Chain A
Amino acid sequence: MKFHDTIAAIATARGEAGIGIVRVSGDLARPIAAELFQSPRGVSPKELSTHTLTYGHVIDTNASDEVIDEVLLGIMHAPNTYTGEDIVEFNCHGGILTLTAVLDLVVKSGARVAEPGEFTKRAFLNGRLDLAQAEAVAELIASKTDLSRKIAIDALAGKLSDTVNSLSNRLADLLAEIEASIDFPEEDLDFMKVETQLEAARAVQNDLTTLLDTADEGRIIAEGVNVAILGKPNVGKSSLLNAIVGATRAIVTDIPGTTRDTIEETINVKGIPLKLIDTAGIRQTDDIVEQQGVERSKAVIDRAELLLLMFDASQPLNNADLELLQIAQSAKAILILNKVDLPVVTPATALLVHCPKKRIVETAIPEDKGLDALKSTICKELLGGELSVGESPIVTNARHQEALRRANEGLYYAIESLENGMPPDLVAVDLRITLDGLGDIVGKTTTEDILDRIFSQFCVGK
């Protein structure tokens, strides 16, 4: 694929990093470098060989050769680059102002600013990545915590493909059995009994279900959860927010394209990205419920997938508190009893009277008391326990999830048919649907594949 335009972007995380990179990809990459880069030794970028770093300056030729920054220029010639095109990288001295200035110059010289993920898109379209890898990279870019990154990296390394391939293989063997019994009825062959077929199908179903079960977790980890902190004024919402944010630095990846994703309100709690809703409101006013009125808090509550409801242990419950307890009954919520370091007026039992089934955490925020307990409780509330990325891959990609769902549905019907003693050609209908679903992730099982299995397993033919 030949793209006609050249794209550029700041490829490193925004922030006070030591070095920042402006990356340029496309036919114009090297001419642009030649225009903007000056080496003290007088080397022209046109003469530089591929995969080299060269010291020099970026200069603005329009502003009487003003030196913009001292840089290392990286040059990589097509096709052995990430995108498969010519790439140049300006390793600058960081600082968002410098980077933006260099990017501006690059754009003035003929490149255009890349869309998010566009480098990866080109890499994929130029055959540098396969589909599953490209999807994994896309998720890597979008990943918000270390955990979601690890899962995406697993997918990139083929962990998901391996698992799905093995399921697909087992089902193809089963289908070959069934097809052989259909296509070679006159040969005296020993076929699997229906019970054995059922056993095989159920075993795959088990593994498929396990895989699919990870999809909900996968979604939570990949996309995060909307969380709202609610409570009456001065209950300590801001302190809580600061305590959590302070303890867990928001994760920024070093993958290109991430830098323009906004991350300001996402915090990482034990690997789960929590997206705090209306935190601005909390920081500025600290009293959504009373000052902004019920309307606004309703909107916040509707959007939230988890409510953190704060109560003041040193004060009696007022109407606002009771209203929150009312809300808690019909929502996913954790009750936080703050200020337990002060003389307690409202004990935990007083909250439990209203919400007997909710989890309660006692905290004293300035002392960080109860903060760890709160994080564990959030984890339990969302995922039903601690999360560990172990041997089994986790499904995060929506397309994969959909494909697995279809496969699972097919397998459900196939098993039902086997249980009801339906004839083999009907069992095969749903087994094929199942294989098709898995095939959308790892590649199709063709009719030729099934025949190969039959011929290798059975002595068929008159």
Chain B
Amino acid sequence: MNTYQKHYDVIVVGAGHAGCEAALAAARMGCETLIVTINLDTIAKMSCNPAIGGLAKGHLVKEIDALGGEMAKNIDKTGIQFRRLNTKKGPAVRSSRAQADKKAYQDEMKRVLEAQKRLDIKQVLVEELLVENGRCIGILSQTKTAYFGETVILTTGTFLKGIIHIGDVSYSAGRAGESSAEKLSESFLSLGFEIGRLKTGTPPRVNAQTVDFSEMEIQPGDENPRPFSFLTERITQPQLPCYLTYTNPQTHKVIRENLHRSAMYSGRIVGIGPRYCPSIEDKVVRFAEKTEHQVFVEPEGRDTDEIYLNGISASLPEDVQVEMVHSIKGLENAEIMRFGYAVEYDFAPATQLQPTLETKQVPGLYFAGQLNGTTGYEEAAAQGLMAGINAALKVKGENSLILDRSEAYIAVLIDDLVTLDIREPYRMFTSRAEYRLALREDNADLRLTQIGRQIGLVDDERYHQFQKKAAAVETELGRLQQTLLKPTPATLESLASILETGEMKQPTSLAELLKRPELHYQQITEIVPPIESLAPAVTEQVEIQIKYDGYIQRQQRQIHQFKKLENFRIPDAFDYANVQGLKTEAREKLTRIRPASIGQASRLPGVSPADISILTVILHQYNAKQQSAG
């Protein structure tokens, strides 16, 4: 066994979306960092759909950005179509999404990694985790070189015991055409981690030259594309359209008649797939009454003709996939370039992790990304970022960073992972965030950039930009609250055409006026303009804060209640075995998960309100005893 001469602070295994953020965060926070991957040509590869963001995922990307992560900047540079979804559903659920140029995204991320100080990049196949006295101290490569580090972050995606299924064919692979990490899986198991099995799928890709787009609905990008990163001023590259077509009764007939040949339906797959991202087989079976399903036709990049058929992920045999695709309007002559497949892989239930993403049983070892049972590039990147941050903080001997559910989607994600027993691939939804109104895309920087600055991840450029925006928002809020409009005949006349909810009878602040449902910020500024014109990001912020004030305040009251329970900490040493009133299931859960607070305990499935009241009483007594003893 050789020993690599350099000793690292942080070693990241895997260079997908989690690995990249983890490595960049650690290096930027001053840690000597190593990132290793099986293949340097697949850094930040998008294994599935060619898009970043979307509902709730857009929120994650903005939060990653606000904390000093890379994903947002990278997609801003390389995206080929930008859209804002849900613009009419309320301020909290407006979500950004971009179609990605997969190759350009990878190349750009590789460049960023290469340029990063204190970050070494190596093509290494890891075979073993090195553990000494119960602590993780490094990794061993296939070529028998040992790399030592203070901390190791594992971000191995679907590569642990990955098996690909197409019809009745299956073979070991992490992604189609890429080998899985078999030895590492064993090393992993020998450390005693509990392993579960999940599955996911991907649809066929076709050649654009063989697609008749004139038969499909065109879906263009937004006229004024909005960037993800708070640092990107504007998106300048030209946008490409996507298209929409539909399956039909013939498609469904083909699928139904061949269900017995589907890998999924023949019973050979034991892993559990996501309910929100069902295969086309699933859709046809479970919602038999639907005569059509949407197929989103999305380009995989600018310099390729490969087209991703979003909506018909399948594990049917290749001949059936051909027949299925050809039954769809506009795809009658489509040539499939890559067939769809289902992939089964091992995951490590994240209840084995602390909220820092460090494993409970092997200190110094962190897990992030799909390994923890999530799907999605954004979910992976968010965990990678937090694992990188916490590994770096640990190396530096500083307090760990654990966000709470009222602060960020990232926290909702991690809290769910370490608290719930995930049985299907986990993806973010806005409905998972109970304090959604506080967690908007537009205020991600106001929520998180200060925190990013404190831990040393936010650079001067970002911080100054943030301070400028925050100050401008405060100033404008103040102006709107303090400027009184008097009901003079002239004012009343200028208001007459826009006021629908009754005349203004007494002097009213601009802020009060803006609360009327029919009025918008734009109209207010036309009446009394600000001293200098303000950036859209500022005016949007001001408008939301004033207009939805009542809702925001009610939610704040809820958050206040929530924080009380979160701040009611359960001591690490607390022994649930002596708490007699707990139901067996609750005791087992609490003992296994070891929640950090009563708040987290109350979210454990199987722990009832009665268990929580018992626990609260006992903890009060316990704390009183500790105090009088101390």
A interface residues (Cβ-Cβ under 8 A, vs B): 1-2, 84, 124-128, 130-132, 134, 179, 181-188, 410, 413, 420-426, 428-430, 432-433, 436, 440, 443-444, 446-448, 450-451, 454-455, 459-462
Contacts and interface: CB of A to CB of B under 8 A. Distances in A.
A20 to B, nearest CB: 30
B90 A422 contact: yes
A413 B554 contact: yes
A127 B583 contact: yes
A347 B146 CA distance: 109
A428 B436 contact: yes
Contacts of A187: 294
Given A125-B618, A127-B582, A462-B277, 19 more contacts: A1-B578, A1-B581, A124-B614, A125-B580, A126-B580, A127-B580, A131-B613, A132-B610, A183-B430, A187-B294, A420-B517, A422-B517, A424-B90, A425-B89, A426-B548, A429-B436, A429-B554, A432-B558, A462-B294
Contacts of A450: 431
A462 B431 contact: no
Interface string B576-609: 0011111100000000000000000011010011
Contacts of A124: 581, 610, 614
18 contacts: A1-B580, A125-B580, A127-B580, A127-B614, A182-B89, A183-B429, A185-B86, A423-B88, A423-B91, A425-B90, A425-B93, A433-B558, A440-B609, A444-B602, A446-B603, A455-B276, A461-B274, A461-B283
A461 B554 contact: no
B614 A461 contact: no
Interface of B: 49, 55-56, 85-86, 88-93, 274-278, 283, 286-287, 290, 293-294, 296, 310-311, 420, 429-434, 436-437, 517, 548, 550-551, 554-555, 558, 578-583, 602-603, 605, 608-610, 613-614, 617-618
B95 to A, nearest CB: 9
Contact of A447 (B92, B434, B551, B554): B434
Contact of A182 (B286, B287, B431, B580): B431
A130 B611 CA distance: 8
Contacts of B311: 462
Contact of B434 (A413, A432, A459): A432
Contact of A185 (B85, B554, B609): B85
Contacts of B581: 1, 84, 124-128
B467 to A, nearest CB: 29
Contact of A125 (B92, B277, B431, B614): B614
Nearest to A127: B581
Contacts of A185: 55, 85-86, 89
Contact of A2 (B55, B290, B578): B578
Nearest to B97: A186
A182 B614 contact: no
B286 A459 contact: yes
B120 to A, nearest CB: 38
B617 A125 contact: yes
Contacts of B277: 461-462
B431 A179 contact: yes
Given A84-B580, A426-B437, A450-B431, A183 B296 contact: no
A153 to B, nearest CB: 19
A270 to B, nearest CB: 35
Nearest to B552: A429
Contacts of B610: 124, 127, 130-132, 134
Contacts of A179: 429-431
Contacts of A447: 431-434
Of A421, A429, A433, chain B has the most CB atoms within 10 Å of the CB of: A429
B437 A425 contact: yes
A451 to B, nearest CB: 6
Contacts of A451: 429, 431-432
Contacts of B550: 413
A131 to B, nearest CB: 4
Contacts of A84: 580-581
Contacts of B294: 186-188, 462
B200 to A, nearest CB: 11
Closest 10 CB pairs of A and B: A425-B90, A423-B90, A127-B581, A179-B431, A459-B287, A130-B610, A131-B610, A455-B275, A461-B276, A461-B277
A2 B551 CA distance: 45
Contact of B90 (A426, A432, A443): A426
Contacts, number: 141
A447 B55 CA distance: 16
A187 B283 CA distance: 12
A408 to B, nearest CB: 14
Contacts of B85: 185-186
B417 to A, nearest CB: 12
B551 A426 contact: yes
A43 to B, nearest CB: 30
Contacts of A432: 434, 558
B92 A2 contact: no
A84 B617 CA distance: 17
Given A125-B581, A429-B551, A461-B278, A181 B89 contact: yes
Contacts of B91: 423, 425-426
Contacts of A131: 609-610, 613
Nearest to B290: A459
B429 to A, nearest CB: 5
Nearest to A183: B429
Interface centre among A443, A446, A459, A462 (most CB of B within 10 A): A462
A459 B432 contact: no
A184 B55 CA distance: 8
Contacts of B605: 446, 448
A462 B296 CA distance: 8
A422 B275 CA distance: 30
Contacts of B618: 1, 125
A1 B431 contact: no
B139 to A, nearest CB: 35
Nearest to B438: A429
Contacts of B86: 182, 185
Nearest to A458: B287
Nearest to A122: B581
A455 B86 CA distance: 20
Contacts of B290: 459
A429 B437 contact: yes
Contacts of A125: 580-581, 614, 617-618
B614 A1 contact: yes
Contacts of B431: 179, 182-183, 428, 447, 450-451, 454
A61 B567 CA distance: 54
Contacts of B89: 181-182, 185, 423-425
Contacts of B90: 182, 422-426
Nearest to B287: A459
A134 B278 CA distance: 45
Contacts of B617: 125
A380 B335 CA distance: 83
Contacts of B429: 179, 183, 451
Q: Which residue among A127, A448, A450 has the maximum number of chain B CB atoms within 10 Å of its CB?
A: A127
A155 B264 CA distance: 48
Nearest to B617: A125
A425 B379 CA distance: 22
A447 B434 CA distance: 7
A450 B287 CA distance: 20
A24 to B, nearest CB: 19
Contacts of A2: 578, 580
A75 B396 CA distance: 62
Contacts of A433: 554, 558
Contact of B554 (A430, A440, A448): A430
Contact of A425 (B92, B278, B287): B92
A436 B558 contact: yes
Nearest to A432: B434
B47 to A, nearest CB: 15
A179 B614 CA distance: 33
B614 A459 contact: no
